[in-house]
Amino acid sequence: MRRPALYSSSSSPPPAEVPGQQAQTGPVIEHAPGTRFFSLSSPRLLWAALAVMALLLALSLSLALRPQPRKLTQADIHAAVLKTLETAQLPSAVAKAYDTIRPSVVRVTGYGKSKNGKEDVEVGVGTGVVIVDKGIILTNLHVVQGAQTIKVVFSDGLESTAHITGAQPENDLAVLQAHKIPDDMIAATMRSTGDLAPGDHVLAVGYPFGIGPSASAGVISGLKRTFRSPEGKQEMRNLIQFDAAANPGNSGGPLVTMDGEVVGIVTAILNPNQQRSFVGIAFAVPIENAASAVGLTPF
């Protein structure tokens, strides 16, 4: 009797067993060529981790060892300010006072008719100072007295006619109202003369002989002085004497402190030689008197 076949003709015979080798019981998995897998115990992975850690450590040490900026102290600030003061070219006190008062100073010219009555001729030239920003100007009465036409020129070049609104003959003061004024008109600041003393620095600004505006610096020479005009027609009292250069044309201009504040209106110079030139003695009406001429409350 023939035994039944365990395998069909289409089936492959079982592999032959090799003596001493156990047969594989599970399926055999084959990997595609060139494919690799990393495990946690892979040396390459460990070295990469160590390299990253070393880089992070080096970066941390670099940031920690970097010098920190020093905290700024008050001594540092004082040193910087002192250095600036030593090296910077700062304007002088006189220059600052001039810059302060300059926008308020005007040139004042009085005109009259010529002999034939057809032309305007200059009969007086002086200076004025704006004390109210509506165009109210203080000047000397002798600058505009007898003039048929008065013209003023402001610091920005604007020219305007003006008329007299008030006068104080005993102090040779006149109050003018300009008919046109600059859009950015700046009035001068007035200051009491109560604390003035001989030796205080002052500045006179005006148009000596029509040239200007010109600045001249000096000191207060004395207070409460009396001056009599060369003709002897008028005696003025309670004047400020100063030694800043003043000449014809300075009349009516401001006498100011180093803060640029008006303490007087320049009104006269002493001319013992009758040459109408400055010899070191000039006088100004205290601003309290000038303010009262305008109707302002005295300080």
User: Has 192 been annotated as catalytic?
Assistant: no
Q: What's the rounded mean pLDDT across residues 52-57?
A: 82
The 10 Å CB-count burial string (b at 16+, else e) for 33-42 is: eeeeeeeeee
Q: What is the pLDDT of residue 18?
A: 46
Cα four-point dihedral sign 15, 19, 25, 27: negative
Portion of the chain with pLDDT greater than 70, in percent: 80
172, 214, 216, 243: which one is catalytic?
A: 172
Q: What's the rounded mean pLDDT across residues 118-145?
A: 92
Q: What is the pLDDT of residue 193?
A: 94
* Domains 102-178 and 201-294 equal at CATH topology level: yes
Tokens (6 digits) for 264: 């007087």
Confidence check: pLDDT of 25 > 90: no
* Assigned CATH class of 102-178: mainly beta
Q: Kindly report the average pLDDT of the chain as a whole number.
A: 83
Q: What is the pLDDT of residue 81?
A: 81
Query: ∠ CA 201-125-160 to the nearest 5 degrees?
Result: 100
User: Has 251 been annotated as catalytic?
Assistant: yes
Say which amino acid occupies 222.
G
104, 142, 216, 221: which one is catalytic?
A: 142
Q: What's the rounded mean pLDDT across residues 47-68?
A: 76
Each domain of the chain, given as residue ranges in start order, spans: 102-178, 201-294
Q: What is the pLDDT of residue 223?
A: 96
Q: What is the pLDDT of residue 228?
A: 85
160, 214, 221, 251: which one is catalytic?
A: 251
In CATH, which of 3.30.2420.10, 2.40.10.10, 1.20.120.160, 3.40.30.10 is domain 201-294?
A: 2.40.10.10
User: Has 259 been annotated as catalytic?
Assistant: no
* Of residues 49, 254, 260, 46, the one with CA closest to residue 140: 254
Identify the weakest region by mean pLDDT among 180-189, 212-221, 224-233. Answer: 224-233
